[in-house]
Amino acid sequence: MHGNLMRLIGGALILSAPVPTSAASRTSSSLENAAWIESVVLTSSDSSLTRDGVDDAVPEPLTASLVGAGYSLDGQVVFPQEGAPNVDVTLGAQHQSGLTLTGSLVGCRIDFQFRVLESATPPVPVTTVPVHIHAQGTADATGDSTLRAASFSRFTLISIALLESWDVSADNVGGGAPPSDSFDNDDQLELAPDEVVSGEIFVDAGIGAESPTEGTASTAEATFDPVIEIADMTIPGTTASYRDYFTVEFSPGYFALGQVPVERTTWGQIKRLYRN
């Protein structure tokens, strides 16, 4: 998978979180096209299957299956809801007998940008606008520990400096994270109009065989669901709401003008309209 988002080392599944792109290289006066990477990599000791969802012609959701003597693997990346760029990645493995599963990965990364845009002239000068950020992420890893499952979900926002970084992980083998975990966080950012914020959504799941016995099965799943909107607050010294004069504009192909929080669209639809 791109950047080896998760690695199989000596039969052990290792979570490896990527380093966010430099704020200086991504912050600009205009918004860049949204970009995404989706991959499904399924491998056994005798065969492998890789599907890459970067191509805008690839249908949604991105799915793949690999079946052999005594085993099966199924992976999926899906954008399950309308609104902000939310993602659900799942991976399942069934092992009965025969060949060894040498490691399977499913992952998605979405890079996007947004800024506060003045939609009408406010009654008084405004230098910063409150933006409400709400993000939910989950990670689950279940099943027999001999089929090691792990998952990871992270949300990052960068402007001049790091603004937010929330993540969660799970591993069904003892000594790691609990088999299921989640975050549900709220924050408020004070952003100047036209200040560009770069965001990254990163979710992945992996399953690898340590010493599978007949009849073992495991599932790994990671999800992410954010809300980014102008806060429901009054401009100081007035009775006017910030929402009456400002909105959030997202990367081309992902619009929020006139909507709270965003236009009714999905990243799968966007991918068909915009090449990166």
Whose structure tokens read 């002239």? Answer: 121
Alpha carbon distance 140, 125 (integer Å): 47
| Stretch 126-147: mean pLDDT | 91
In this prediction, residue 54 carries a pLDDT of 67
| Cβ contact 208:102 at 8 Å | yes
Instruction: Look at 127-131, 229-233, 254-258, 267-271 and tell me which has the smallest mean pLDDT.
Output: 254-258
Instruction: Give all strands (DSSP E) within 10-146, no chain letters.
Output: 12-15, 35-43, 48-52, 62-68, 71-78, 87-95, 103-118, 129-143
Length of the chain measured in residues: 276
With cut-offs at 50, 70 and 90, classify the pLDDT of residue 167: very high
pTM of the model: 0.80
Its domain, for residue 148, covers 2-273
pLDDT at 231 over 90: yes
| CA dist list (Å): 169 to 25, 69, 97 | 28, 31, 30
pLDDT at 9 over 80: no
User: Does the pLDDT value for residue 194 go beyond 90?
Assistant: yes
Residue 11: is its pLDDT beyond 60? no
From start to end of 11-70, where are the E strands? Answer: 12-15, 35-43, 48-52, 62-68
Residue 217's pLDDT is what?
86
Whether the pLDDT of residue 135 is over 60: the answer is yes
Residue 22 confidence class, pLDDT cut points 50, 70, 90? very low
**Pick from 212, 219, 254, 258: nearest CA to 101:** 212
What's the confidence (pLDDT) of residue 254? 58
Alpha-carbon dihedral sign for residues 144, 145, 146, 148: positive
Give the H/E segment covering residue 270.
helix 267-273
Q: Give the model's confidence band at 174: pLDDT under 50 very low, under 70 low, under 90 confident, else very high.
A: low
Q: Are 192 and 148 in contact (CB under 8 A)?
A: no
Number of domains in the chain: 1
